[in-house]
Amino acid sequence: MAERRTAIATVCLSGTLEDKLAAASSAGFDGVEIFENDLLASRLSPAGIRRHCADLGLSIDLYQPFRDFEAVPPELLRANLRRAERKLDLMAELGTGTILVCSSVSPDAVDDDELAAEHLHALAELAAERGMRIAYEALAWGRFVNTYQRSWRIVRRAAHPALGLCLDSFHILSVGGDPAAIRTIPGEKIFFVQLADAPRLAMDVLQWSRHHRLFPGQGEFDLTAFTGHVLATGYRGPLSLEVFNDVFRQADPRLTAVDAMRSLLALRESLGLAELPEAPALHGHAFAELAAPAGEDVGKVLAGLGFTVAGHHRTKPVQLWAQNGARVLVNKTGERTAIAVDSEDPGRSARRAEAYLAQPLRRGREAVAAPDSTELFFCGGDDWLADFEPAGEAGRTAGITGIDHVALTQPFDQFEEAALFYRSVLGLRLDPVVEFAAPFGLVRSRAAAHQGVRLTLDTALVRRGEWAPAVREPQHIAFATGDAIASAKAMRALGAPLLDIPGNYYDDLEARLDLDPGLLAELRAQSVLYDRDEHGEFLHFYTELAGERVFFEVVQRIGGYRGYGVANAPIRMAAHRDRRLNGR
């Protein structure tokens, strides 16, 4: 597998053909599929594109798509063969040997496999004369040929050495096709393989395919099983990504190409085929670091939550606040947000992150940049405490035991990438994507957790305009307590600015969940929110914003509750907004 070639279709990336090729090359792809529209709009001649790709170290593995060719009346066949000859000539200039032919969607096509095979045979003859090959792909919305089984029957019937299949995971998995039967196809008849994932959406399959595909591991299809079936046939060609996605189409292609390559690395690892440093065991969060520009009194809020200053960084204006196992760094330069995990082997964690194309950071400790530029530190136990001059402030406490999770607001364009990044680099498990209607628009959220490390990723679903207050939603840290009600009381006594929750919320809790009246009264009195799932219960409350961007949450997990109280997030957001506007 180390020698397995990787490719990416130019349609995955934003920009002109030159932008796309530069991005694919710098992310380390071996080859590209050139999408016809990218070539048509380019000022480079086909021979010029060939030279440009060679300079970039890219092979051109496929030219595509050629549409509506087969099973048509004779006069149309003549026109289609003529059209095909021009494209085969173009491919000779491009220096590529394989063209993708999509199954027909034309109203002129007829439902006749014999005729389709005959026509594809004629096309394969033209290709063979030039030493080229035809890869026939069944589109999920093909007029008559819409499964790979049917395209395979036609290819078998045509029985031409220059005619084979293109298998595209989307067309197979979107419509519930059984990929296991791929194993019955001889590998040498599979001429090309295109990989795409997608979220499960109940919608027209063409729209789904053209707008919502994702890179492997970012959606809900089982690309590991699919690719396993393909490789079992002895297929020797490249693993190529073909992802039509509205966000990727407008995002920086250099970032998208790295994301794409990371998805292939993760896929290979899931197949046991990649030589990557294994993810070391994690032991929860070591610390979280908040950017607190001068004038934002994060310290005052932390003191109210029962934290004390436990140290001062030896060289930087960074304070260490602690309460039992919860450690927060407050960075007065206001420069960065960082998360730090406690790793069994920080060096290996960093090597793995770099193998997964994370940007290493020179921070004196093992650290890399995540896609949203959050800094990710790998600590070994309490080794990092050596960077701090201890400050033996007296220990008050309000019941916090550690960091439960860190919520990271993601730039819209980086949401899918971030989930794949944290999953592959840290070995976190991803929860399904959830969406909720917040006061200022839809929010998409996804949690990633493993071995005591929990992150939630959020993004506004639609770019926001002037009205919405929080284009950059605040980041927040959630602390764990064994008793949320007791912690809330203790924190109020310490002067913590806890967020007030409206009475309507508690009336609804009462209606929906028939809670014990005593518990409900306590929740209401302390502005503690409540949720439950099939595993347990969740009590949580928030502070007001400390400055523009930072607030804290305190959570109590009872039983095996697995969630994050997402259903309550709109209540929190409205309350923060209310506070900001009315000073209440």
Ligand X SMILES: O=C(O)c1ccc(O)c(O)c1
The residue whose two tokens read 């002037």 is 466
Cα of 344 vs its chain's centroid, Å: 26
Q: Is the peptide bond before 238 cis (omega within 30 degrees of 0)?
A: no
Residue 79 burial class via C-beta count within 10 angstroms: exposed 0-12, middle 13-18, buried 19 and up = exposed
Which residues bind to Mg ion, rule: CB under 5 A? Answer: 168, 194, 242
The answer to whether 289 contacts ligand X (rule: CB under 6 A) is: no
Nearest by Cα to 350 from 335, 332, 362: 362
- Judged by beta carbon distances under 5 to 8 A according to partner kind, the member of ligand X, Mg ion, none in contact with residue 209 is ligand X
Which of 195/499 has CB closer to ligand X?
A: 195
**CA 509 remoteness from chain centre:** 34
Q: Tell me if 64 contacts ligand X by CB under 6 A.
A: yes
Q: Any binding-site annotation on 55?
A: no
Q: Which does 263 bind (CB under 5 to 8 A by kind): ligand X, Mg ion, none?
A: none
Assess whether the previous peptide bond of 65 is cis (omega < 30° from 0). Answer: yes
Residues sharing a CB contact under 8 Å with residue 48, sequence separation 6 or more, in sequence order: none
Report, in Å, the least distance between residue 235 CB and Mg ion.
15
Classify residue 290 as exposed, middle or buried by CB count within 10 Å of its CB (0-12, 13-18, 19+). Answer: buried
CA nearest to 285, candidates 407, 434, 369, 414: 407
Residue carrying the six token digits 């050495």: 161
Q: Which residue has the tokens 């014999």?
A: 114
Binds 210, which of ligand X, Mg ion, none (CB < 5 to 8 A, cut-off by type)?
Answer: ligand X
User: Which of the listed partners (Mg ion, ligand X, none) does 102 bind, with a CB threshold of 5 to 8 Å by partner kind?
Assistant: ligand X
Instruction: Pick the binder of ligand X from 30, 242, 473, 522 (CB under 6 A).
Output: 242
Distance of CA 128 to the CA centre of its chain: 41
269 interacts with, out of ligand X, Mg ion, none, CB within 5 to 8 A per kind? none
- Please give the DSSP secondary-structure letter assigned to residue 140: T
At a CB cut-off of 8 Å and minimum separation 6, what does 261 contact? 6, 27, 28, 29, 357
Please indicate if the annotation marks 121 as binding a ligand. no
Q: Which of 10, 104, 174, 209 binds ligand X (CB under 6 A)?
A: 209
Comparison of 107 and 517: residue with beta carbon closer to ligand X: 107
Which of 571, 262, 563 minimizes the C-alpha distance to 425? 262
Is 476 annotated in some ligand binding site? yes
Answer yes or no: are the C-beta atoms of 571 and 505 closer than 8 Å. yes
Q: How many CB atoms lie within 10 A of CB 132?
A: 19
d(CA 268, CA 559): 36
Residue 269 interacts with ligand X (CB under 6 A)? no
Which residues have CB under 8 Å from 86's CB, separation 6+?
none
Work out whether 102 is an interface residue with ligand X (CB under 6 A).
Answer: yes
Smallest separation, CB 141 to ligand X (Å) = 8
Interacting residue with ligand X among 51, 210, 463, 472 (CB under 6 A):
210
137 is a site residue for ligand X (CB under 6 A): yes
- Distance in Å, CB of 427 to ligand X, minimum: 32
Among the listed residues 370, 377, 420, 416, the one whose alpha carbon sits nearest the alpha carbon of residue 262: 420
Residues 333 and 344 sit within 8 Å (Cβ to Cβ): no
Nearer of residues 176 and 583 to ligand X, judged by Cβ = 176
Which SS3 state, helix, strand or coil, does residue 399 take?
Answer: coil
By C-beta, is 103 or 233 nearer to ligand X?
103
168 known member of a binding site = yes
Residue in 58, 94, 100, 195 binding ligand X, rule: CB under 6 A: 100
Helix H or strand E segment including 155: helix 148-158
Q: Nearer to ligand X by C-beta: 209 or 218?
A: 209
The nearest distance, CB 123 to Mg ion, in angstroms, is 18
Residue 119, Cβ density class (10 Å: 0-12 exposed, 13-18 middle, ≥19 buried): buried
Ranked by CB distance to ligand X, the top (closest) residue is 65
Q: Among 30, 36, 70, 168, which residue sits at the site for ligand X (rule: CB under 6 A)?
A: 168
64 interacts with, out of Mg ion, ligand X, none, CB within 5 to 8 A per kind: ligand X
- How many Å apart are CA 518 and CA 515, to the nearest integer? 8
Instruction: Check residue 190 for interaction with ligand X (CB under 6 A).
Output: no
Q: How far is the CB of 194 from ligand X (least distance, A)?
A: 6
Six-digit token string for 132: 């080229």
Residue 217 in contact with ligand X, rule: CB under 6 A: no
Q: State yes or no: 544 annotated in a binding site.
A: no
242 is in an annotated binding site: yes
Q: How many residues bind ligand X (CB under 6 A)?
A: 11
Comparing CB distances to Mg ion, the nearer of 100 and 400 is 100
Choose the contact partner of 522 out of Mg ion, ligand X, none; CB within 5 to 8 A by kind.
none
> Binding to ligand X (CB under 6 A): which residues in 467-496?
none
Closer CB to Mg ion, 174 or 270, in the complex: 174
Report whether 335 belongs to an annotated binding site.
no
User: Residue 66 or residue 551: which is nearer to ligand X going by CB?
Assistant: 66
Residues that constitute the known binding site for a divalent metal cation: 137, 168, 194, 242
Residues that constitute the known binding site: 137, 168, 194, 242, 405, 476, 553
Which residues contact ligand X (rule: CB under 6 A)? 64-65, 100, 102, 137, 139, 168, 194, 209-210, 242
Residues that constitute the known binding site for Mg(2+): 405, 476, 553
